[in-house]
Amino acid sequence: MQKLKLVYRETNWWWPLLYGVGGAILTAIVLLVDLYAKELFPSGWKTTLGLAQTIHSAVFTGLLTMMTFTFSTILVVLTTYSSQFSPRTLPNFIENRQVQHIFGIFIGTVTYSITMLFFMRPSLKDSVVASAVAVVVVLIAIIAFVAFVHIVSQSIRVTTLLDRLHEEGRTLIDEHVEAIEEGQYQLLPDKQTSYPFDLTAAQTGYLQAIDYELLMKSGGHVAIDVTIGSYITQGQRIGSAERENVEQGILIGPTRSAEQDFPFVIQKLSEVALRAISPGINDPNTARHAMRQIGDLFRRYTMLPDGNLLVRGEGSATVKRLAFSELLYLTFYQLRHYGEEDISVLATMLESLEIMKRNALPEHKASIDRFIPFVCSEVDWSALNEWDRQYLEQAQKTALS
Cα–Cα dist 295/292, whole Å: 5
pTM, to two decimals: 0.81
Cα–Cα dist 107/171, whole Å: 32
Total number of residues shown for the chain: 401
Task: Specify the 3-state DSSP secondary structure of 252.
Answer: strand
Tens digit of pLDDT for each residue in 150-176? Answer: 888 887 788 888 898 999 999 989 888
Beta pairing class for 185-188 and 126-127: unpaired
Cα–Cα dist 302/366, whole Å: 11
User: Letter for the amino acid at 123?
Assistant: S
Cα–Cα dist 350/96, whole Å: 33
Tell me, what's the pLDDT at 161? Answer: 86
Tell me, what's the pLDDT at 245? Answer: 76
Are the beta carbons of 300 and 173 closer than 8 angstroms? yes
Provide the CB-side half-sphere exposure for 253 (13 A, CA).
Answer: 16
Tell me, what's the pLDDT at 366? Answer: 93
Closest CA to 285 of 215, 206, 342, 362: 342
| Residue 153, burial from CB neighbour count under 10 angstroms (0-12, 13-18, 19+) | exposed
Cα–Cα dist 288/276, whole Å: 9
Taking residue 106's Cβ as centre, other Cβ atoms within 10 Å add up to 23
Tens digit of pLDDT for each residue in 364-376? Answer: 999 999 999 998 8
Tell me, what's the pLDDT at 8? Answer: 53
Phi, psi at 225, each rounded to 5°: -95, 5
C-alpha dihedral (116, 120, 125, 126), degrees to nearest 10: 20
Tell me, what's the pLDDT at 43? Answer: 67
- Angle, alpha carbons 231-308-89 (nearest 5°): 40
| DSSP H stretches of helix in 302-361 | 324-338, 343-357
Are the beta carbons of 260 and 230 closer than 8 angstroms? no
What CA–CA distances, in Å, run from 202 to 215, 245, 249? 15, 11, 11
Cα–Cα dist 147/190, whole Å: 49
Chain CA centroid to CA 378, Å: 35
Are the beta carbons of 353 and 295 closer than 8 angstroms? yes
Element of type H or E holding 101: helix 97-119
What CA–CA distances, in Å, run from 207 to 86, 147, 229, 239, 322? 21, 36, 5, 12, 14
Closest CA to 89 of 269, 320, 298: 269
C-alpha dihedral (93, 165, 142, 118), degrees to nearest 10: 30
Which residues does the chain have with pLDDT short of 70? 1-12, 38, 40-46, 121-128, 218-219
